[in-house]
Amino acid sequence: MEFHNQNPKKIIVKAGNLQEFISKIFGNWYWFLISMVVCGGLGFAYCMYASPVYKINSAITIDDQANQQQPKTTDSNGSMSFPDLLTGPANAYNEVDILKSKYLMMKVVRELNLNTVIYRKDNLKSVELYNEAPFDVKVIEKADSVKLAKFGVEMVGNDLVHITNSKENLDAKVPFGKIIKCEQFDLIINKKPGIISSGGYKFTVQSVDSKVENLLKNFTVDLTDKKSSTLALTIEYSNPKKGEALLQRLMTLYLESNLENKKQIADSTLTFIDNRLKIVSGQLAGVETGFSQFKKKNNIANVDEQSKVLVGNASEYNKTISDQEVQLSVMDDISKYIEAPENRKVIPSSLALQDPAFTTAINNYNQLLLQRSQLSLSYKATNPVIENLDAAIETARQAMLKNFNINKSSLEVSIAALKKKSTSFNDEIKSAPAKEMVFLDYSRQQNLKQQLYLYLLQKREETAISKTSTISTARIIDPAKGDYDPYKPNKPMIYALAIFLGLFIPWAYMYFRELLGVRVQKRDDIVLNTNLQIVGEIDSNKKGQPVLIGPSAKNNILEQLRDLRTNVQLILNNEPSNVVLITSSMKNEGKTFMTLNLANVIAMGGKKVVMIELDLRNPKLSSSMGIDHENGYTDFVTSDSMTINDIIKPTEFSENVFLISSGFIPPNPAELLLSDKLEKLIDTLKQKFDYVVIDSPPIGVISDAQIIEKYVDFNLYITRLGYTYKSQIAIVNDLVDSLKFKRTYLVINDIKSRKGSYYGYDSGYRYGYTYYRELSRA
């Protein structure tokens, strides 16, 4: 009965995957143990000697005025009123950017000298110090860019310090307070009184910019809630006291900067109001003098009742016109600030128009000017940051100018309409004396100038009061405080990672070794790449003996060969012709070993077997048995007088096993295999023996086996674990698919059996072979 290519074979592979995985772990337990010990030791060493990192936290609340109600533009008496000087929006998100700015952090680094870090040497690690060092270091920079430099320091007595730096070949003992010359900068080491030296020290010097970058990477500012204006500040630092001082100073500088910006706006507004008061005061004085002289000269203190009514009506319109012209006058004054691009003065927001949008635009424009003023202290005018900010300022100015022109045009149209209506009243009083018309004109001018003058006086007083009472829009609600326990290293996480790596590394090594390996390492590598049936799996021949079969032999290989014999008999199903060809893809895969031992195990069942050594290019079968390969097949083919009986040789280890050796090594082995005598030889042997086992050349190297294959009943293809290439499985697949090889089956050789292995045996039998028997009987 013949085997069929059925899916149950793949089911066995899948069912064995879990068993194989578990067996690999138990079979390589010592690698997992070593890996666990090594990774655990590394994790423990890291936790012991890594510098701890603490989280320092604080909180600032921002008085967010963006959503506050805008003040009215007129007071209870109907006179004009404008937004307060300091009511510009304070957006919490903008404050986050300010707190995280390089400018602010750079000021902190320079004030606290953070780019110079002093460490105490403590066994295998260094501990950063704050005020605990018995000395401090002053750096006199020679250039803006400073590369990281490390120095060793030891106290020598009370007056000397020993400083070393291998890169600069510096090794000197110098007194405290003396200048030490270095390539990038000069150093001065000063002694701190009252602090006792304990062991060795070292310190590092780096550029301010690089220190700022390092600090900003570990500094976060976040809103505590989307609806809140409270900011949570957190910085990670190795020394909690130093981190607290750093964060506290950062918050203080932020509040001072916030307050200074408001004072700058107030000073600019006061200067503008004072200049306008001088001009308006002179204009008002001129109008009042002319008006007084006109009344005195023309004696127009009393007017008739009709004139009073007409004048009253005209006065109401004139008052309205005056209000509009005051606004127009203010706009003309403000236009001088925004029409010139080179004018970088802050625009007084308190003199803005009644339009809230225009007021907001002025406040945003002022904030951009102040931000540029601050950044210009750290950057040149050609810096991309300054250039981008200038572009933003120009965009804001153009937007204000456009908005200003629209508002101005609207105001001019309104004034023109009011004047047109006022003209109608003037027409009605044409009959009044011309003196009264002049009187009304003087009256209107005087009213306009008085309102403008009083308005400026009021805003001047309000601005002066606001300046003296200005407070920051932010305040500290939680001072900087470091956590009690370090944030890093996270010991539970590190130990968990060490355990994981201890298990993962050996598993990954075994997995990728198999995945990336080009050779067949396990049974699945064969099963998943071919549909051919596996009829035998043979253990590794650890003894190295060519013949392992004997009457009293008891070992795994004997039982495996017996299973192979059973499967071969099931395949042939007692056919009268039993010619078996054994081949492989290349040499040293065990085809000669398999030929010899399969023939012997068949003979143990009482069958007569003859082996033919047809690997004419590299004969190994004869030498494995200690028999001379002369007088063999090639001699029979090339001789006219030699008979088949002349080349059949008995063997010493079994009376039922015979051998036909290869004969002399010919220069044309393929041509000798094409001889008609080969067919005659095999037909004769079929009559004399129960089985004919042929040791053929490898099919992956030469085509000799394909010549022989037409005379055989079925083929055994030998694959050797750890030796056969995966790509060579495709060779036999192609031969079978193209019908060049018929009835071909696989034998796996050199299985590494060990305790706990998937390939181990129980009482000498394999589950897989039982499956083959059951499948064959089905």
- Does 203 fall in a domain? yes
On whether both 157 and 200 belong to a single domain, the answer is yes
Residue 522, helix vs strand vs coil: coil
- Full DSSP string of 182-206: -SSEEEEEEEPTT----S-EEEEE-
pLDDT of the residue at 232: 92
Task: Give the domain CATH number at 646.
Answer: 3.40.50.300
pLDDT of the residue at 16: 52
On whether both 107 and 24 belong to a single domain, the answer is no
For residues 540 and 752, is the Cβ–Cβ distance under 8 A? yes
Q: Which of 516, 534, 566 is the last residue of a domain?
A: 516
For residues 696 and 705, is the Cβ–Cβ distance under 8 A? yes
Tell the residue number behind the tokens 């990672």, with chain if given. 497
Q: 539: which strand partners?
A: 751
Q: What is the chain's alpha carbon radius of gyration, rounded to the nearest angstrom?
A: 52
Find out whether the peptide bond into 667 is cis, omega within 30 degrees of 0. Answer: no
For residues 616 and 704, is the Cβ–Cβ distance under 8 A? yes
What is the domain count for the chain?
Answer: 3
On whether both 638 and 566 belong to a single domain, the answer is yes
Q: 80: which strand partners?
A: 74
On whether both 26 and 156 belong to a single domain, the answer is no
pLDDT of the residue at 744: 92
- Give pTM, 2 decimals: 0.52
CA dihedral (520, 524, 529, 535) positive or negative = positive
Cβ neighbours of residue 491 under 8 Å, at least 6 residues apart?
Answer: 47
On whether both 614 and 506 belong to a single domain, the answer is no
**Given the DSSP bridges, would you call strands 744-751 and 534-539 parallel, antiparallel or unpaired?**
parallel
Is 535 buried (19+), middle (13-18) or exposed (0-12) by CB count in 10 A?
buried
738 is in which domain, residue-wise? 525-777
Q: How far apart (Å, rounded) are the C-alpha atoms in residues 549 and 489?
A: 63
- Does 537 fall in a domain? yes
On whether both 575 and 626 belong to a single domain, the answer is yes
pLDDT of the residue at 198: 75
- Does 400 fall in a domain? no
- Does 764 fall in a domain? yes
Return the half-sphere exposure (C-beta side, CA atoms, 13 A cut-off) of residue 278: 5
On whether both 40 and 123 belong to a single domain, the answer is no
- Does 303 fall in a domain? no
Q: Which of 202, 225, 254 is the last residue of a domain?
A: 254
Tokens of 667: 């220069």
Sheet with 135-141, side-by-side order of all strands: 135-141, 185-191, 179-181
Compute φ and ψ for 63, nearest 5 degrees.
Answer: -80, 90
On whether both 583 and 617 belong to a single domain, the answer is yes
On whether both 42 and 142 belong to a single domain, the answer is no
Tokens of 9: 């074979």
- Does 371 fall in a domain? no
Give the residues of the chain that fall short of pLDDT 50.
1-15, 66-90, 303, 306, 352, 431, 755-778
On whether both 504 and 578 belong to a single domain, the answer is no
For residues 61 and 229, is the Cβ–Cβ distance under 8 A? yes
On whether both 15 and 133 belong to a single domain, the answer is no
Q: How far apart (Å, rounded) are the C-alpha atoms in residues 385 and 434?
A: 65
Return the half-sphere exposure (C-beta side, CA atoms, 13 A cut-off) of residue 636: 25
- Does 244 fall in a domain? yes
For residues 140 and 199, is the Cβ–Cβ distance under 8 A? no
- Does 33 fall in a domain? yes
Tokens of 673: 């295999």
Q: Tens digit of pLDDT for each residue in 734-755?
A: 888 888 888 899 999 988 765 4
On whether both 31 and 118 belong to a single domain, the answer is no
Q: Which of 224, 254, 284 is the last residue of a domain?
A: 254
